[in-house]
Amino acid sequence: MNAHDHGLPQGTATNKHRRKLILVVAITLTIVVVQVLGAVLSGSLALLADAGHMLSDAAGVSIALFAAWIATRPATRRSTYGYQRAEVLAALANAIILVVIAVVILIEALRRISTTPDIRTDVMIVTAVIGAAANLACLLILRDGQAESLNLRGAYLEVLGDLLGSVAVIVAAIVIATTDFLQADALASIAIALMILPRAWSLLREVINVLLEAAPKGVDSEMIRNHILGVGGVVGVHDIHAWTITSGVPVFSAHVVVDGETLNAEGVDQVLDRLTHCLRNHFDTRHCTFQIEPAEHAVHETRQHA
């Protein structure tokens, strides 16, 4: 006997914050144009690298927005969970874009470190300060939602990297202006590339956990087992599975063994109500599937999981 709680959220976590993402894309693209113009006028590679990074951010967030729209499409006979995993694939694309951008910046910086181009530090500083202010505004926009969605977290981390990149550009401009050490521009570019890579790895690791259907962060299967065993009438539980469809949509299933006195319509109904209430309130999991079994049924099963 199966019990399904169909209380799936009406929208994914990314879709919930869609307007914030649109605003961040608009701000970011505006600053990209400003930084490219500033890089051309100043001759700064670091400024151009920061512009390239921000452009990748805008592209990544745009992908996330498109994926959030796809995720709202209803389930079908073939796609029984709908298309909510599209958001996870978008986060994967973001991580890959970050890695590519970082490698390109690093190669160009290493190539230019032996050259000494003329750099207008005044234009470089003004442009970098504008970029830093815009990045700070974007961080404030995304701050609340980044804990709920992989895509918002990816966007938040990217914007944070942009802010640090703008700071690196400002520092490089000050160094060049005060010491005439022109290589500071290339070194700042290298610093920007090295800041990107750890963030890309962090996002990639979270995406891999979702795709491998690892337990949601903060969910302990043994703790859930103990909660289930504490429900009246339950004498055992096995084949426990906890995974994530996409950000904000955790899913749980288990085979629950009940005693003979509970194995009737009224008793099973009460057990299912208690189980779904427990998972929803203690582990924030709204979509649960329980297979209720008598103890004797164990001999007919081949257990794959504890």
DSSP state at residue 74 = P
Answer whether residue 7 shows pLDDT above 70. no
The CA dihedral of 25, 58, 158, 176, to the nearest 10 degrees, is -100
Q: Is the separation of the CB atoms in 273 and 292 below 8 Å?
A: no
Element (H, E) at 22: helix 18-42
Give whichever of 49-53, 143-147, 251-255 has the largest mean pLDDT: 251-255
Which of 18-22, 34-38, 59-63, 252-256 has the lowest average pLDDT? Answer: 59-63
Per residue in 268-292, pLDDT (tens digit) is 888 998 988 888 887 778 788 898 8
- 94 pLDDT above the threshold of 60: yes
pTM: 0.68
Per-residue pLDDT reduced to its tens digit, 197-220: 887 888 788 888 888 877 777 777
Query: Is the confidence at residue 1, as pLDDT, over 60?
Result: no
Say which residue, 30 or 260, is predicted with more confidence: 30
Strands 234-246 and 287-294: unpaired
pLDDT at 4: 45
Domains with residue ranges and CATH for the chain: 2-211 (1.20.1510.10), 221-300 (3.30.70.1350)
Q: What pairing do the DSSP bridges indicate for beta strands 249-258 and 287-294?
A: parallel
